[in-house]
Structure 1
Amino acid sequence: MSVLTENPAEVRTPRADASGEPAFTVSLNGSGGPLKGWVVVDTLVDSLAMGGTRMTADVTEEEVRGLARGMTHKLTLVGLPIGGAKAGIVSDGSDREETLRTFGRTVAPLLHGGLHLGCDLGVTPADRAVFFGEADYDPRRKNRAVDMPYDWRAYYEPLVDCTGHGVGVATVTALEELHRQGGSRRVVIQGFGTVGRSVAQFLEDRGHTVVGVADVQGTISAERLPVAELLALTDGFGRIDRSRLPAHVTASSEPDAWLDVDADVLILAANHNALNSANVHRLRAGLVVEGGNITVSPEARLKMAVSGATLVPDVVANVGGAAAAGLALARIVPFELPSKQRKNWVFDWVGTRVRQNTKDLLEIAAATGQDPLPSLLTARRKERR
C-alpha cells in the first residue's frame, strides 16, 4: 500500500489556511471556445487536490469556494492525504458536449499538474469522460504514485452508490445516537438523483419508510412510496415519470412541498441552500442529513439549532464518492482484490469513518450545545499529526 507522501508511513491531511482564503482560484474563459466558470483549490497536500465539477446556470464563484472548503473538511475528517478543490461551470445544459470539451481543454494543465476533478451536481460520469478525454487525462498515472491497474471508469463506476451509502450510514447512526432507532421512521428525500435513489433503497432495506420524494418537477408522497417502482420510473437525471405513478401516490408542483410532508427524517440530496431562511420555518423533521453539498444555508442552520432540530452536515455524511476517488488517487485501496470484494472494502472503509464522525459530532453537540464541527475537525487533525 502506498500513499502520495514522501514518507509512506506519514499520512497528512488537508488543512485550510487560517485566513480563510483558498490556495488559488482560476477563472475559466475557455480554450478554443467560450466558457464561464472557476476552479478553486482550497488546500494542497504534496501539490495534490481533488473535488467535483458542478454545472448549473446559476453557480457562482462564492458557491465554488464554499464547496472547495467543504472538500477540505471532508478529506480531513476521513484522513485522506489530498487537498480540497472544486470546479464550477455556468451553463444551462445547452451545447452540453461542446461546453464539456472546452472545459477539458481549459483545465488540462491543472489536471495534469496534480488536480483531480470529478462529478458533482449537473455533471454525470459520461460528462466526466468527455472532459477527461478532451484533456487527455488518465487518473491511472499520477506523479509520485504507482500506476492504477484499471482505467477510471472500471474502478469508479461500480462505486457510484458510495455517496448514498455514506449518507444512509450517517442517517441510521444519527437515529441510534438520538435514541430514535426503534421502529420504522418516516423519511422524505429532496432530490432523486444518484444519491437520493441510493439512500432511498438503503433506508428502506433497513426498515424505514420513504413517504416523500422531490425532483425538479415537484414532490410526490404517500403513506409508503414503493421505492423499487420509483427507481424504475426515474431517468438518469433524477426525474420521475409522473404518467406512470401508482394511483395511491400524490403529486404536487408547489414549491418546496417536500417540507409539508410529515416525516421524522429529511435527506437533502439536491440543490444548494435548499433549506434556507425563507422556508426553514416549515421544517417538520427532527433530523436533517445533508446528502448534497451545502444544502442548508447558514441562516437556516442557526434557526434549526434554535428549534432543536439536528443536522448532520455534508462534510460528515456526503463523503462516499470523494473518499472512493481519494482512496484510488492516494493508492490506498487494495487493487489486488477482485471487483466485488474491492467494492465491499471501499464501502466498509467509508461506512466506518462516516459512522464514527457522526457519533463524535453528535456527542460533541450534546456536551457543548454549540456547533460541533470545528471541534471535530480539530480532533481529527490532532489524531493524524
Structure 2
Amino acid sequence: MSLLEVTWTDPATQARGYLVIDRLVRGVSSGGLRMRAGCTLDEVRGLARGMTAKEALNYDPAARYVPLGGAKGGIDFDPYDPRAKDVLTAYLHAMSPYVERFWTMGEDLGLRQSTIDEVIAKIGLQSSIQAVYPLLDDEQKARQRLADAFQVTVDGVSLDELVGGYGVAQAALAGIEYLHIHNPTAFVQGFGSMGGATARYLAKAGVTVVGLADVHGVVANPAGLDVEALLLSRDEHGAIDRTRLRPEDRRLERDTWLDVEADVLVPAATSYAINAGNAHRVRAKLVVEAANMPLTEDAEVRALVIPDVVANSATNSWWWWTLFGDIDATAESAFEKIGTNMRRLVDEIIGEPSPREAAKRLAAASVKEIEQRFPRP
C-alpha cells in the first residue's frame, strides 16, 4: 500500500489531479509530475512504486546521495489546452504543503521543467525540490551546483534535457551488444526530452534511427533520419517540424508506429502504449522502456525488454548526484557517471530470464539496505 494518496479537483475546469507518495526515506520522496488527458490514480500509483525502485537501484553506500522514497504526481488534463498552466498552478498551490516538506518533483510527460519552475515561483515556494534541502551538507553550494548544471548546453540542447535520454541510449547500446546486433536500426516513439536525447545519442553511436513518432504522426526513412536537424527544430512539446524533412523521408499515420521495421524499439511517450491488443505487432529484437510503464502487464512481446526503472533512471539520479556533489556541474561528469552506472545496472539484469523481475529484486534488496541504515521513525 502507498504511504499517502491525495485526489484533487480543480474548481475552474473540474480537472482531476493526484499525488501518491509510495515511500519516504529520511522524510523525503522523489518523483515527477505529469499532465495528460486520461491520467488516473492507478497510473500515478504505479509510477510512484516505480520511483521507489528507480531511486533504490541507484544506491551506492559510498556516495553522498542516498536514494529518496518514491512518489508521483499526475493531472488529468490536456497539456495543449490554453488553460493548462492555470490548472498546473491550482494543482501545485493545493499540493504546496507536500512540496515544501515531503515531495521533490520535476517535469514528466506533458510538462517542462521551466514551466514548473515558473509556477513554483509564482505560488511562493523556493523550489520544486526544496523538501530535500534539509538533507544537504551545504545548501548554498549544492543549489548553486545544480543551477550551474542547468545552464550547461551541449550542441544546442540543455544538459537537463539530455541526461535521461543519454542513459536510455546507453541501456540500448548495452542491449545491442548483448544481442550481437550488427548495423542496428532504431525507432523512437516520442520526441520530447527523453525520446529526443535517446535518438541523438543512438545516432551519434552509429545506430541508424529509421523512424520517429510524435503526437502528429510518424516520420520514417529506412536509410536513416537526420536526427540532429529534427531535434534542434522541434517545438516545446516535442513535435517534429515537418518542413525540415528531406524529400526521401516519409510521413505516416500515428497508428503505424509499430509497423516501421527496426531492431530496437524505444517507447518514450505515454504509459501503456504497448498492450495485449498490439503487442503482437512488435517486431524489434530489443525494447528499451524510455517512458514510464509503456508496456502493460499483459503485453507479451518476444523481444528482450530493458525495463523503465533501469533505462530511464538517469534523469532522476543526475539531479541528486549533482545536488549532493557526487558529480560536477558539467556534461562530461554527468555523461561519465550515467554511462558507467547504466552499463552496470543493465549488466546485472540483462542475462536473467526476466530483466524486469531481476530489477525488482535488486531494488528490493537496496530498499532493505537503506531502511536498515535509515530506520523509519
| TM-score, normalised via structure 1 length | 0.84
Alignment of 1:282-321 (within 5 A): 282-300=281-299, 303-304=300-301, 307=302, 309-321=303-315
Shift of 1:347: 2.6
Q: Is the 8 A contact 2:53 2:360 kept in 1?
A: no
5+ long unaligned stretches in structure 1:
1-20
The change in CA–CA distance for 1:332 and 1:35 in structure 2 (over 3 A counts) is: farther
Q: Among 362, 365, 369, which residue is 2:350 paired with?
A: 362
Work out the percentage of aligned pairs sharing the same amino acid: 32
- 206-215 or 355-364: bigger deviation: 355-364
1:272-313 C-alpha deviation (Å, 9 max, x unpaired): 11111111111110100001111111111xx22xx3x10001
Q: Quickly say closer, same or farther: Cα 1:33–1:241, change in 2 above 3 A.
A: closer
| Residue equivalent to 2:63 | none
The Cα shift of 1:176 comes to 1.5
Q: RMSD over aligned Cα, in angstroms?
A: 2.3
What does residue 375 of structure 2 align with? none
Aligned match of 1:375: 361
2:134 equivalent in structure 1: 143
Aligned length: 349
Tell whether 2:79 aligns with 1:86. no
Q: CA deviation at 1:206?
A: 0.9
Rounded to whole Å, the distance in 1 between the matches of 2:184 and 2:332 is: 27
Q: What letter matches 2:187 in structure 1?
A: V
Asked if 1:164 corresponds to 2:165, the answer is yes
* Match status 1:104 vs 2:103: no
- Structure 2: any 5+ residue segments left out of the alignment? 60-65, 151-157, 373-377
Residue pair 1:105, 1:135 contacting (<8 A) in 2 also = no
Deviation, 1:360, is 1.0
Cα distance in 2 for partners of 1:161, 1:187 equals 18
Distance (Å, rounded) in 1 between the aligned partners of 2:67 and 2:210: 39
Task: Tell me the distance in 1 between the aligned counterparts of 2:369 and 2:352.
Answer: 16
- Alignment partners' CA distance in 2, 1:144 and 1:234: 38
2:7 partner SS: strand
**1:45 pairs with 17, 25, 34, which one?**
25
Deviation at 1:170, TM superposition (A): 0.3
Alpha-carbon shift at residue 382 of structure 1 (Å): 6.5
CA contact (8 A) 2:307 2:356 kept: no
- Secondary structure (helix, strand or coil) at the match of 1:259 reads coil
Q: What is the aligned partner in structure 1 of residue 153 from structure 2?
A: none
**Number of the residue aligned with 1:26:** 6
1:265 aligned to 2:264? yes
State which drifts further: 55-64 or 228-237: 228-237
Match of 1:231?
A: 231
Contact 1:174 1:359 in 2 (8 A): no
Q: Which residue of 2 aligns with 1:59?
A: 39
Judged with a 3 Å threshold, the aligned counterparts in structure 2 of structure 1 residues 39 and 289 are, in CA distance, closer, same or farther, namely same
With normalisation by structure 2, the TM-score equals 0.86
Report the equivalent of 2:216.
217
1:324 alignment partner in structure 2: 318
Q: Distance in 2 between matches of 1:210 and 1:274?
A: 20
Q: Which amino acid aligns with 1:78?
A: N
Q: What is the CA distance between 1:27 and its match in structure 2?
A: 1.5
Query: What does 1:115-264 align with in structure 2 at a 5 Å threshold?
Result: 115-133=103-121, 134-138=123-127, 139=129, 142-145=133-136, 146-149=138-141, 150=143, 153-156=147-150, 158-180=159-181, 183-223=182-222, 224-255=224-255, 257-264=256-263
1:244–1:69 Cα change, 3 Å:
same
